[in-house]
Amino acid sequence: MSLSESKLQPLARQWRIVKLLSGLQGLSLDELAAELGVSIKSIRRDLNELREADIPFAESTGPHGKKTWRLDMSRSVPTTFNFDEIAALYFGRLFFERLAGTSLWASANSAFQKIEQSLGKAGLTYLDQLTPLFHQTAVGITDYSSRADKIDVMRTACEDLRVVTAEYESVGAGKPRPYTLRPIGITEHEGSLYVAVSSPDWDGVRNFKVDRFHNVELQDEHFERPTGFDLKSHFAYSFGIYHQDGDPFRVRVRFAPEAARYVSEKVWHVSQTLEQQDDGSVILNVELSSTRSFMSWVLGFRSAATVLEPAAFVEEMRNEIAAMSENYTAD
């Protein structure tokens, strides 16, 4: 299906051009225009903008005067890194390994191999001695090595604004059900990947967990990104991954002195403010549109956390704690 210029935003289209021209064989302007469904004029404009961003392209003339374009690999990216900067990138490999098997990991792994080569045997041996000093906990981390194909399909769909069909098994569902989805962004939360999707079956944007997808297929149909949508705004009044439309409201929680320092050391939400109390406790204020995920977080502090407002959330906490107590009632 031909793709109109209005349906593939310039930035996404230019990123697609970079990927297409990364192969050994170059492509002509006609081929790029046909692949992306836009005019040659648009392709020329995209290439000029990419060149202005110092992304190197080379033009060559082949048989019968055919001109093709590809990435100019003779112009390597400057590697004026200090040893400590290279070491930091090398240790950062830990954070990419959860995406093992995906095309993102393949590209990252290729970069890490080049880092290893630049370090040399002595430098690599030295860094390997330091590796045990760094550790990433794996509580709740998802192994995506067997789901690489799903991640790549979703990433392509987000970049090219293409529809996917899939079966998705939501929490509590007895079996997967079919969906037609419009993926528009990917989010990592607590070791798991989620895809922000819209659909002709509902209004707004929902978050689907990658782990629960079955039989994901990329379609030729394209869609338009919701006007003004971006992931940062999408999660502005969420706590964690759960999103709910609606006006935000203020939530206040007091943390006892034994938990106050831990709470004060981190940014838990973009809207948060902290009120230090004379007794050493601290009151956390946040603006949320839902307390669904926030409740679980507060309960993790046990008796060191007390919800102050809103009243509806206080009552919700009372009911939840009472239900929990029933689980421990003596026979």
Q: How confident is the model at residue 3 (pLDDT cuts 50, 70, 90)?
A: very low
What is the CATH number for 21?
Answer: 1.10.10.10
Indicate the residue among 209, 234, 259 that finishes a domain: 234
Domain of 172: which CATH number? 2.30.30
Domain stop point among 25, 51, 71: 71
Number of domains in the chain: 4
Residues 158 and 117 grouped into a single domain: no
What is the 3-state secondary structure of the chain?
CCCCCCCCCHHHHHHHHHHHCCCCCCECHHHHHHHHCCCHHHHHHHHHHHHHCCCCEEEEECHHHCEEEEECCCCCCCCCCCHHHHHHHHHCHHHHHHHCCCHHHHHHHHHHHHHHHHHHHHHHHHHHHHHHHCCCCCCCCCCCHHHHHHHHHHHHHHHHCEEEEEEECCCCCCCCEEEEEEEEEEEEECCEEEEEEEECCEEEEEEEEHHHEEEEEEEEEECCCCCCCCHHHHCCCCCCCCCCCCCCEEEEEEECHHHHHHHHCCCCCCCCEEEECCCCCEEEEEEECCCHHHHHHHHCCHHHEEEEECHHHHHHHHHHHHHHHHCCCCC
140 within domain boundaries: no
Does 240 fall in a domain? no
User: Does one domain contain both 89 and 65?
Assistant: no
Is residue 56 included in any domain, yes or no?
A: yes
Percent of the chain topping pLDDT 70: 86
Same domain, 212 and 157: yes
What is the pLDDT, as a whole number, of residue 4? 39
Q: Is 16 found in the same domain as 92? A: no
Within a domain: 177? yes
pTM (whole model) above 0.85: no
Per residue in 63-105, pLDDT (tens digit) is 777 888 888 766 555 556 766 777 777 777 766 766 666 666 6
158 & 219 share domain: yes
Q: Which domain holds residue 29?
A: 10-71
pLDDT at 6 over 50: no
pLDDT at 136 over 70: no
**pLDDT classification of 288: cutoffs 50, 70, 90:** very high
Give a yes or no: residue 243 inside a domain.
Answer: no
pLDDT in tens, 40-49: 998 988 888 8
What does the pLDDT read at residue 307?
98
